[in-house]
Amino acid sequence: MTTGTVYVIGAGLAGLSAAVELAGRGKRVEIIETAPQPGGRCRSWFDAQIGDVIDNGNHLVLSGNHATFSYLRAIGAGDRLKGPDEARFIFCDVRSGERWTIAPNAGAVPWWIFSGNRRVPGTGALDYAKIARLLLANRGRRVADVITCGGALWERLVRPLLLAALNSAPEEASAGLASAVLRETLARGGRYCLPRIATPNLAAAFIEPAVGFLAGKNARIRLGERVRSVDFGNSHATGLDLGDQRIDLSTDDRVILAVPSWIATSLVPYTDAPDQSSAILNAHFRANAGSGAPGMIGVIGGTAEWVFAFPQRISVTVSGADAIVDRERAELAELLWGDVARVHSLRLNLPPWQIVKEKRATFRATPEQDARRAPAQTRWQNLFLAGDWTATGLPATIEGAIRSGQKAARLAAGESVT
Ligand SMILES: Cc1cc2nc3c(=O)[nH]c(=O)nc-3n(C[C@H](O)[C@H](O)[C@H](O)COP(=O)(O)OP(=O)(O)OC[C@H]3O[C@@H](n4cnc5c(N)ncnc54)[C@H](O)[C@@H]3O)c2cc1C
């Protein structure tokens, strides 16, 4: 690559990972971000009601997410995700109070499915063999076309895991995307599905260290500035319009567009992208789950799906939350606190709370939407796309966003990338 500047538009994880990759190679990088803070859909802020920094949503990463860990190591934040040394997933059915723990063994040979203490109660090893069909599923098929979406294993493990990973009704979700997640995590053994949570919050793990790293490499981050349009010639993008300023692009300059899909399609002609999204709802409560409380519990039979315990805060995630996201905040807080109180056996009245609604949290992970994802390369030689919605082969996740940014960076650096 020549000596020009790489303009990275959007400082979410796709844009930041692209910038980190390029700045780490000594390239001149300038990031333009419309929001007053970096992070995009992975951000934190101080909330007065909770009296603490909260995240827009609890983000779960698994130890098999190798691009995420390479990004964290690059920015000096390899130690900011915390979690247990063994893969253990605790579930609670709030209707009956029943609890169970799923404990995949570390290695690739899944002997845990033969152990009554490690597998889902009410299931046998044969049930897992049937689910394994999902691993070979191709992209055009729905989960329900490949496996039976019913029974104890489905209700108590597979459905909640797929809902968390795909943020879409698992039955109608792409079997290919489900397969990609499973192949990189659970199918490789417990060592690859250790749950990891940003500690103490998302910004401290993913964003602030990246900003520090980029500052150390003299990369410029322009916050509160929106790219309104991109000018194009026959083969190259020629300029960026920021409203009160225009950036003329020289033939040496490159652009990585790392904005959400609906912005990318408005800025770049001929771009296909998913056009249906799925909501995620998070509730935060100023409460203590008690010493020794598990950091994370899957909820069955309630409205909450995952309950996360932090030192002075309990947070709840509801994925695929489109059916409830428009309800009143106070009603949601009451509803979700009911589940938290049952999960942690708390007798407290509703404590101070905050509800965070992300209506366009991710694209809907159906085969039809997956087929609309754009590749990183565009018809313009100096313009590359990044973002969790681009054709990463993964659902819209941190891992997908980071891989997309790293790929766009390699392309901008002139590498050929498959
Ligand atoms: C509530 C919630 C919970 C989640 N939970 C998980 C989880 O548990 N595990 C997981 O792996 N993933 C999770 N995700 C998904 C993950 O957060 C996203 O996949 C990832 O953050 C997307 O990053 P991105 O860079 O592709 O997009 P974004 O974060 O959307 O970044 C795009 C950036 O572009 C900026 N921008 C837009 N327009 C312009 C413009 N015209 N000019 C300049 N800048 C512009 C935006 O302000 C934004 O900062 C969750 C998402 C949400 C919302």
List the pLDDT tens digit at each of the 418 positions of the chain. 558 999 999 999 999 999 999 999 999 999 999 999 999 999 999 999 999 999 999 999 999 999 999 999 999 999 999 999 999 999 999 999 999 999 999 999 999 999 999 999 999 999 999 999 999 998 899 999 999 999 999 999 999 999 999 999 999 999 999 999 999 999 999 999 999 999 899 999 999 999 999 999 999 999 999 999 999 999 999 999 999 999 999 999 999 999 999 999 999 999 999 999 999 999 999 999 998 999 999 999 999 999 999 989 999 999 999 999 999 999 999 999 999 999 999 999 999 999 999 999 999 999 999 999 999 999 999 999 999 999 999 999 999 999 999 999 999 999 988 7
Q: Whose CA is nearest to atom 33 of ligand 1?
A: 10
Please state the separation of Cα 405 from the chain's center in Å.
Answer: 14
Pocket of ligand 1 (CB under 6 A): 9-15, 32-35, 40-42, 56-57, 59-61, 226-227, 258-260, 263, 280, 282, 358, 361-362, 387-388, 396-399, 401
Q: Whose CA is nearest to atom 5 of ligand 1?
A: 59
Of ligand 1's listed atoms, the one at least distance from the Cα of 388 is: 26
Phi then psi for residue 257, to 5 deg, are -95, 105
Q: Whose CA is nearest to atom 7 of ligand 1?
A: 59
The set of residues, in sequence order, having a beta carbon less than 8 Å from that of 280 and lying 6+ positions away, is 57, 167, 317, 318, 319, 320, 321, 358, 361, 362
Of ligand 1's listed atoms, the one at least distance from the Cα of 267 is: 41
d(CA 80, CA 119): 30
Pairing state of beta strands 254-257 and 383-385? parallel
3-state secondary structure of 343: helix
Could you tell me if 386 and 407 are in contact, meaning their C-beta atoms sit under 8 angstroms apart?
A: yes
Q: Pick from 318, 390, 398, 399 the residue to mutate for probing ligand 1's pocket: most ligand atoms within 8 Å of its CB.
A: 398
In whole angstroms, how far apart are CA 227 and each of 133, 212, 255, 283? 45, 24, 12, 32
First to last CA, the chain: 18
In this structure, the chain runs to a length of: 418
CA 178 to ligand 1 center in whole angstroms: 20
d(CA 216, CA 313): 34
Closest CA to 201 of 276, 308, 115: 308
User: CATH 3.50.50.60 occupies which residues in the chain?
Assistant: 5-43+202-275+366-412
The top-level CATH class assigned to 5-43+202-275+366-412 is alpha beta
Q: Pick from 20, 59, 261, 404 the residue to mutate for probing ligand 1's pocket: most ligand atoms within 8 Å of its CB.
A: 59
CA 260 to ligand 1 center in whole angstroms: 7
Of ligand 1's listed atoms, the one at least distance from the Cα of 398 is: 11
Q: Whose CA is nearest to atom 34 of ligand 1?
A: 10
The 10 Å Cβ neighbour count of residue 158 is: 24
Could you tell me if 102 and 86 are in contact, meaning their C-beta atoms sit under 8 angstroms apart?
A: no
Q: Pick from 65, 184, 259, 354 the residue to mutate for probing ligand 1's pocket: most ligand atoms within 8 Å of its CB.
A: 259
Could you tell me if 199 and 81 are in contact, meaning their C-beta atoms sit under 8 angstroms apart?
A: yes
DSSP, residue by residue, 361-375? EEE---HHHHTTPPP
d(CA 184, CA 62): 9
Predicted pLDDT at 123: 97
Q: Whose CA is nearest to atom 26 of ligand 1?
A: 387
The set of residues, in sequence order, having a beta carbon less than 8 Å from that of 388 and lying 6+ positions away, is 13, 14, 362, 363, 396, 397, 400, 401, 404
Q: Whose CA is nearest to atom 53 of ligand 1?
A: 361
Could you tell me if 408 and 382 are in contact, meaning their C-beta atoms sit under 8 angstroms apart?
A: no
Predicted pLDDT at 1: 52
